[in-house]
Amino acid sequence: MSESSLKHFSLFEGVPHDALSALETAAQPRDLSGGDRLIERGNDATTLQFVLSGRLRVANAAGVTVAHIEAGEVVGELAFFADGKRTADVFAMRDTQVLEITREDFERISADHPALTHVMLRLVSQRLVAATARSGAVVKTVPRVIAVLPAGDSKMPDGLLDRLADAIRKAEPSGPGVATMASEGSAPGDYLGWLAEREHEGAYVLADASGAEEWGRAVCRNADALLMVATPHAASPQPSALETAAMDWIEPEDRTLLLLRDAASVEITGSRAWIDARAAKLHHHVALDRDEDFAKVGRFLTGNAVGLVLAGGGALGAAHLGVIKGLQEAGIPYDFIGGTSAGAAMGGAIAQGLSVAEVLDQMEAMFIEAKAMKRLTIPVHALLDHRTFDHELSTRYGSKDIADQPHLFFGISTNLSTNSLHIHRSGPLWECVRASGSLPTILPPFIDADGNILVDGGVLDNIPVRVIRQLKTGPNIIAALGDPTAEWRVDAEYSDVRGPGALLRDLLLRRKPEKKIPSIVETMSNSMVVASRMLVKEMDSPDDAVLEIPLIPGMGIMDWDQGRELAEMARLHVLQQAQGEGPLTRFVA
């Protein structure tokens, strides 16, 4: 243990040197390997731990990680000072060193050095305030020590670490900085000392794990996250021996796969095999001739990636194209698109790399020219004939896998087979869009290759904010359609609902009813968004920005002929929200 190890803790700023020396003398160093348990839930809290190096995770009774603890932090202080029981398990995520002190020793030393008592009381108060504010939310820190290693038989490109480090600096220009370590840049033992110094500085660390096996294992075993790099000319997606060992140490949620290609013009294929072999939580397609791709990776690595969540709403979803156009004009990046129903359709088209103008043309060709949603059928499986709609979707979105799209994307449908939300992150893109927009009774459900019966995602989650928060850290822009507080009422009474004779007469005479009664489509679509609109009202994340996109009065979910006008309204609304004190100003690059 180095002299005055505790002096690096911001917690002890201003505490006299002799108090820290007394604390360090009484405390015992304890070394942990990745996976070792430091604290066991239910045990008496008789010791207090100070993390000198490494990283720990806190797990609840179900084994789910609910928090991370970094170097320079304290472990278990609430139960320790309450003289209570441990309420969670704490495990080392990699090689970790802590200082451990007993209650008796701490009380003896703090009696002679009251400054320690004041410091710990302040810490306990801060933790209690934070716990109250979180209300049980999961708190996970962004990994700072990242092992960068070749995927399969890939070779690490020259200059890759430098480009990644530059991207991190741009994503956090006022951050603690980035340190890089080249392959076999030091002896493994010396690397650990160098790493401990960088951790005390709070810097991000990018370490090249390629090279000799001993070096690679030392880097990966002491990393918080894996960044596996697949290069354009790699032959096989089979993980290397080093990757296999590293994946035993690092959980899937902290694994990222970079799929490099020489140029943006090169077609993307075969991504799923690389992703599945590594159970990577996220993957990024990076063209070596596009600085924007590296900038995106930098935002993800620092927890600053911007998610874009698009609500469902039929023709009202045309507003999302205006939102995207407005974000582009305002210089606001969006790194991960997710949507439901129409949101999945618009987001999926953009994820393909199409421009907003191209998607608007595509939308009008499908719904106005081809009348994809205006063909009735015998109402056994649904009211509408799905064949034209399916043909248009399969032609325009294609069978290319979601994982092979240049931009990160997911869509949402409701799985009636499993009674759960179905998150589409792989499989043919057109099938995702079709399933996500399967409005019950209006269109027949989509049945996938596994026999799952899928209907519109709006049944369970019309604005999939919770999903994107599970998939990434950082801020999100949430595009809700209309005012979630607006009430839907009609100037009619229940007795005005027409019987079959009146309906047939009015249909033959092409006569509109005297009073407007909700149609099947209107009732179904509004029924599905009730829960999501309630959720929008309750969204309180300070990181996210909720856009309540104004709609054209009287426009319905089948009024595709008004889509272009609505998109322009949304574009202007976004540009307005990106100025002055609008909610989007903090996203402007």
Catalytic, 135? Answer: no
Decide: helix, strand or coil at residue 277: helix
Can you count the helices (H) and strands (E) in the chain?
Answer: 20, 22
Nearest to 120, CA basis, from 112, 130, 110, 111: 110
Distances (CA, A) of 112 to 4, 48, 108: 18, 18, 7
What whole-number distance in Å separates Cα of residue 78 and Cα of residue 67?
Answer: 15
The helix (run of H) or strand (run of E) holding residue 147 is strand 145-150
Catalytic residue among 154, 341, 436, 525: 341
DSSP sequence for 55-104: EEEEE-TTS-EEEEEETT-EESHHHHHHT-B--SEEEESSSEEEEEEEHH
- 95 and 192 Cβ atoms separated by less than 8 Å: yes
**Catalytic-labelled residue, pool 385, 456, 461, 544:** 456
Tell me, yes or no, if 426 is annotated catalytic. Answer: no
| Distances from the Cα of 533 to the Cα of 28, 37, 209, 544, 562, angstroms | 54, 43, 47, 16, 23
First to last CA, the chain: 43
DSSP 515-551: S----HHHHHHHHHTHHHHHHHHH---TT-EEEEE--
If you write DSSP's letter for every residue of 490-511 in order, what string do you get? -S--GGGS--HHHHHHHHHTT-
Q: Which pair of tokens denotes residue 354?
A: 């199409």
Active site residues: 341, 456
